[in-house]
Chain A
Amino acid sequence: MDFESDYEIARTAEFLLSRNFTRVALQFPDELLKDSTRVVRALRDQLRSLRKCGAEQNGGNKDVRLFVMADTTYGSCCVDEVGALHVNAECVVHYGHTCLSPTTTLPAFFVIGKAPVSIPNCIESLSSYALTNDKRILVLYGLEYAYSIKHIREALVEASKLSESKSKLEVCFADVSCSVMNSSDDHRSSTGLVEPAGVCTDDNTYGMAPDNRYKIGGLIWTLPEGHKMEDYLLFWIGSDNPEFAIVVLTFNCCDIVRYNPKENRLVTDVSQQKRILKRRYYLVEKAKDANIVGILVGTLGVAGYLHMIHQMKDLITGAGKKVYTLVVGRPNPAKLANFPECDVFIYVSCAQTALLDSKEYLAPVITPFEAMLAFNRGSQWTGAYVMEFRDLINSSLVEVKESEEARFSFLSGGYVEDVDLQGKEIDKEDKGTLALANAMEKVLQLRDNPNSLKKSRARSGPEYFAARSYQGLDMHYDNSLPEPYLVGRSGRASGYEDEKK
């Protein structure tokens, strides 16, 4: 593949000039960083040559300044708006794999890149798979394969003409929504990339719109009237990445096969992905038992994240649990283990980074949707799964009738107390004149054997710390003499000098 077309230099330059941006941030993921200088050079040349032509026409254009951004704080699939704002950029050009999450303040231009795919091979897999099934097929794909879909579609039509098979292939294709994104602040229309029909982004069309329009990640498609997603078989072209996992989770009632373009192979066994759904279900059940919840801020760019965080806070406090908001950048087990008091974390981030396999983590990390299930009393999981938290913002809390029943925990296999309901009742009593007496009573209550190694679970951070065995340094006032002078160790922690042989 040719470098210029791979990075869509010409199109990028055109876009930048057409909008008259003067400061532009180029965001590269780690794996493409090595190309960044070449891209900048090429882009700059292109811009200059274009401007020359442009200057002749209307003149007065300023130079475009380009900034390269690397090492994003959160997932590299999202537009790093905060980073771009450091250089006062007016626009971000995002390279590489993207989740196409809407941005808050800056317009963005996406250069997705192109991954090679063997079209004849893909067609063959697709048609042979279609022949073995009588359901309609919907083709979904990783964005890096979007460029080839037009060819595949054409080739498929031809192939079906040639073969004249009795059963007509019914194959639908999803479209890529757009490669330009305006910030959610200004609602200007954007242009489609592959298909002009690929309608521009509109904040409210995410997820399942009522008129059979579906949108997931950057893909968008419309089903004919009267058809449901369950009637379709999904054919995914692309690698086994989070994008695919989201598709599997969201359409968990559909049969899904994956065409692996790297190995030119059809993968029909996606049980591993299906397991993810069950695993998420377990995490929800586990979260229900949590007393202290940490909200991990996983994005500072995706539109509506603040709203989501507030919504989560309200939800959790409403459920009578303690909530802490944490900003730790991209989470890893070591970082989160610094908060052992949290029983569960909610990760508010773009859809593609949201699914963390919590196996390595001390406490599970769940998505806002799962949190809604877990902390909204009486809500039940019927199998539907929503990934993008923007879809949750609109879905106001379902008012579930307060069932009297105590909550049944499947982890402990019995009823567990519900802190909130119990607490409220008792608090009411405390309001009375007996409040002081009651408080005294609690203080004077016989505590468990202090030497026992067993502890009950804490309800808040301070309670957790109070139960720790280490309470900080002991002040020995009686021993006021200064300690004798000692020679410490020297060297580095990976091997102090006295340890080296």
Chain B
Amino acid sequence: MRFMLLFSRQGKLRLQKWYVPLGDQEKRRLGRELVQTILGRKAKMCSFLEWRDLKVVYKRYASLYFCCAIEEQDNELITLEVIHRYVELLDKYFGSVCELDIIFNFEKAYFILDEFLLGGEAQETSKKSVLKAIEQADQLQENIDFQMRLFPAPS
């Protein structure tokens, strides 16, 4: 996978994960144009499109578009499954996830994504394992937070 974008129906970016090295300007431009292209598509259209020289797979869940740009040899259908798996993870984590959850807890959305995909490929195919790992990482974080509150670092 080259990159993944999450954006709302108004075109506001909620999450962007880039696995290819591009400059900031370039990323913004690419993102904007792709978002416009996808938003311009009608409801029942195909989930796959060829855009520039990329293969793009996207799916809409409620008010959020999940969009991935994949390599030439990648399987489009399995990418749809990857997207679906990510949504399921978010759903399990936040409990009936909605767009607001992702807006206000964007860093957690990233952490979950990073526990599921690594370097653009799926690292764990078991939903249970991913959720467990995140839980434990969160626990670790909480402990440290707790410690820091009790024993603030010397200023």
Q: Do A and B originate from a single complex?
A: no
CB within 8 Å of B: which residues of A?
none
CB within 8 Å of A: which residues of B?
none
